[in-house]
Amino acid sequence: MSAPALELRGLSKIYGQGESEVRALEGVDLRIEAGEFVAIMGASGSGKSTCMNVIGCLDVPTAGQYLFHGVDVTALDQDQRARLRRAWLGFVFQGFNLIARTSARENVELPLVYRKVPAKERRSRALEALSLVGLSDRAEHTPAELSGGQQQRVAIARALVSNPALLLADEPTGNLDTARTREIMKLLVELNQTRGLTIVLVTHELEVAAFVRRVVTFRDGHIVEDRPQQEAA
């Protein structure tokens, strides 16, 4: 039996000490299989963003274990976690984080520049990623020439260009209107279903969570609900 995409075992994260101590996560157990699309929900301060940061190798737990495809991430040093993050994870955030004066293609190429991929291959892979998100005809447009939904598609293409095993999306529709939100969520569902991409999405919006098949809800650092959804939107 193959290892899950990720597994958290008794995971805790504590910030501060004494009276200022904050238990952001406390004894969290979570298993996500390869190919799942999971929404993590919860109010502000529930622990959902801390959980996402640990999964994304942006933070380390105080106690417990984090396994990524069977690899014990909690046993890795900072450089090893950074390599894992670059090679295996893709990130999409609420803010599109695009470079204003460069084209969509050049923005998508950026992760490959850091990996010293040759220019010809970078261009080819960036155009392929833009095609995946339906923006082949906008490759040379700057962010200012794109709508909010199109800018988020560029950000998704940038996350996909490195062929990640796991896509982490933190409030990816937070800056979009209802129509563009549905557009982006349908794209993520399509990527999950057609490419088998494992996606973990943080959201506080029920309308967004309605698109996924499993919802995990945090409260006060604990998972209080983990339920499947038979009918996605």
Walk me through the domains of the chain, giving residue ranges and CATH numbers: 37-60+83-228 (3.40.50.300)
81 and 57 Cβ atoms separated by less than 8 Å: yes
Position 17 scores a pLDDT of 84
Beta strands at 198-202 and 37-41: parallel, antiparallel or unpaired: parallel
Which DSSP state fits 3?
P
118 token code pair: 């040759």
Residues 27 and 102: their CA atoms lie apart, in Å, by 44
Position 231 scores a pLDDT of 58
Position 100 scores a pLDDT of 93
Tens of pLDDT along the chain (233 residues) come to: 678 999 999 999 999 888 888 999 999 999 999 999 999 999 989 999 999 999 999 999 999 999 999 999 999 999 999 999 999 999 998 888 999 999 999 999 999 998 899 999 999 999 999 999 999 999 999 999 999 999 999 999 999 999 999 999 999 998 899 999 999 999 999 999 999 999 999 998 999 999 999 999 999 999 999 999 875 55
Beta strands at 71-72 and 22-32: parallel, antiparallel or unpaired: unpaired
Position 94 scores a pLDDT of 87
pTM of the model: 0.93
H or E element at residue 138: none
Task: Select from 149, 147, 135, 133 the least CA-distant residue to 189.
Answer: 133
